[in-house]
Amino acid sequence: MLFWIILFIVIFLAINAVSKNKAKAELQRAKSAIQKCRVCPECAEDIKVEAKKCRYCGVSLMPVTEDEQAQIDKAYSLKISKLENMNTTQPLNKKYQNSDGWK
Ligand SMILES: [Zn+2]
């Protein structure tokens, strides 16, 4: 009888550990999906910070200024912290959708 109880506990712990790792990996994935973006001055689409040309309208872009960089970093860390906050209160799929809609 004791054997079964121990076995049950071991299985329970194993499942718990796996699902925790899964949630961690999901959060990591969601985080990496968030990119540092800036807005194209011509077409107002989100484009990568590193881009030299807008991928939507093809306009050549000026290098990011220090002010812009600061804004971009701020927006980025805000998105990340939002994602982490949601991790504690909501199921993962919902969280990801929310962070996507937040721009
Ligand atoms: Zn553009």
Q: What is the 55 CA–ligand 1 centroid distance (Å)?
A: 7
* Closest residue by Cα to residue 84 from 32, 36, 31: 31
DSSP symbols for 49-94: TT-SB-TTT--B-PPPPHHHHHHHHHHHHHHHHHHHHHHHHS-HHH
What is the 67 CA–ligand 1 centroid distance (Å)? Answer: 20
- Ligand 1 centre from 51 Cα, in Å? 11
pLDDT tens track, the chain, 103 positions: 888 989 999 999 999 999 999 989 988 898 888 888 888 999 999 999 889 999 999 999 988 889 989 988 998 999 999 988 887 765 555 555 555 555 5
At 50, phi and psi to the nearest 5?
Answer: -75, -10
Q: Looking at residue 32, what is its pLDDT?
A: 85
Q: How far apart are CA 16 and CA 88, in angstroms?
A: 16
CA 33–ligand 1 middle distance (angstroms): 21
Q: Using a CB cutoff of 5 Å, list residues around ligand 1, an ion.
A: 40, 42-43, 54, 56-57
